[in-house]
């Protein structure tokens, strides 16, 4: 026991000398300290940049979003309502949890590619792809059980006495049937595509 205790100061001294020993032009301790500070700066910068792209101003900075879907959204209850609570683009389309948000940002690089390619650069191009684009969003929301909707809306928090009878019936039916928000509320924030194309494809199938 006494020998082990006597060795401890020597071990600490050797570790300290190792950290101060030059490795090229820098000591090991200096390299570790610089890496730590650099990591903090990088992480802070990365998160700052990610949050900067998570604002409505950024979302509508390209004319495709600003002139097409944003104009539609301005005529909906998510933009203007009696309570003054507004759901912005990232509220509905970007997860709150960091991991899922990061995954969504990676997926968004595909949208940058289509921006460069001009895939929906005109109203005509956009309308031609509206159904395809809408389907992607519907499928994504279906897979996550309308996760972003539930940031504000929860069945358990609904006061059915404040809803119209038809809404109460539909919500109870949806709850019992395992439905998710997007199953019934597809046109809540944007104009619906021509759903006759959906019906035609379902019939053909």
pLDDT value for 16: 62
Give, to the nearest 10 degrees, the angle between helix 109-117 and helix 98-107: 20
Give me the phi and psi of 176, to 5 degrees please.
-70, -30
Q: Specify the residue for token string 């059915």.
A: 160
Q: What is the mean pLDDT of residues 43-71?
A: 91
pLDDT value for 50: 87
Q: Which two tokens stand for residue 5?
A: 């205790």
**Residue 129 CB neighbours (<10 A):** 15
User: With contact defined as beta carbons under 8 Å apart, do 181 and 149 qualify?
Assistant: yes
Q: Tens digit of pLDDT for each residue in 90-117?
A: 999 999 999 999 999 999 999 989 999 9
Enumerate residues 6+ apart whose C-beta is below 8 A from 146.
180, 181, 182
Residue 69 class from Cβ within 10 Å (0-12 exposed, 13-18 middle, 19+ buried)? buried
In degrees, rounded to 5, the angle at the alpha carbon of residue 18 between the alpha carbons of residues 14 and 24 is: 155
pLDDT value for 28: 65
- Bigger pLDDT: 119 vs 196: 119
86/77 Cα distance (integer angstroms) = 8
pLDDT value for 175: 86
Enumerate residues 6+ apart whose C-beta is below 8 A from 181.
141, 146, 149, 150, 153
């Amino acid at each position: 026991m006494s020998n082990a205790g006597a060795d401890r100061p020597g071990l600490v001294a050797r570790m300290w000398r190792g950290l101060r020993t030059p490795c090229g032009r820098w000591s090991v301790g200096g390299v570790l300290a610089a890496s730590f500070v650099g990591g903090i700066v990088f992480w802070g910068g990365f998160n700052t940049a990610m949050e900067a792209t998570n604002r409505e101003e950024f979302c509508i900075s390209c004319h495709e979003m600003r002139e097409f879907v944003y104009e539609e959204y301005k005529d909906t209850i998510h933009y203007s309502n009696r309570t003054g609570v507004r759901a912005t683009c990232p509220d509905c389309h970007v997860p709150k949890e960091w991991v899922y948000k990061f995954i969504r940002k990676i997926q968004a690089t595909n949208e940058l590619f289509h921006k460069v390619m001009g895939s929906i650069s005109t109203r005509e191009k956009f309308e031609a792809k509206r159904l395809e684009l809408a389907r992607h969003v519907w499928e994504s929301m279906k897979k996550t059980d309308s996760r972003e909707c539930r940031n504000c809306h929860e069945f358990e928090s609904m006061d059915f006495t404040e809803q119209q009878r038809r809404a109460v019936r539909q919500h109870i039916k949806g709850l019992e049937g395992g439905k998710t928000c997007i199953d019934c509320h597809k046109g809540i924030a944007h104009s619906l595509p021509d759903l006759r194309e959906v019906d035609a494809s379902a019939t053909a199938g």
